[in-house]
Amino acid sequence: MTLAKTSAITSVTGGVLSNLANADTLNADNRSKPIWGPTLVVMSLILAPFIWHEWLMVLDSCPMLWGLGWWGSIPYPELIHHRIGSWGVPSIGKPGPDGQSAWDRTEQAIFTSFFAGASTAVAAVAAIRAIKK
């Protein structure tokens, strides 16, 4: 092996090891930063109503739900009977005169609101970043 090849291999190896150390440092810096940045907060606020509605749909369609029973003054978990649909959350049902069920109309309204909310979120994040600079 010639001296030129040896020095080339040494410089490449040194560069790789240096870059690996730099990547480890950047990874450690990223892990030490808080995860609740403005983007995550805005996304959480936009998705919260949709997730809440989905859980209401799931729980309102269950015949049995977990409740809290009392034995004297001691609480204990118990299954209680639930009348399906008693919460009045739109369910998957028969289509109305317009061809859509209440579920379809509700979900369509939620997804439409995402588009309005997404542009607001992008503008809010851009404004926050502009203020920070």
pLDDT above 90 (res 74): yes
Task: Assign 78 a pLDDT band (cuts: 50, 70, 90).
Answer: very high
pLDDT above 90 (res 76): yes
Structure tokens at 95: 């289509």
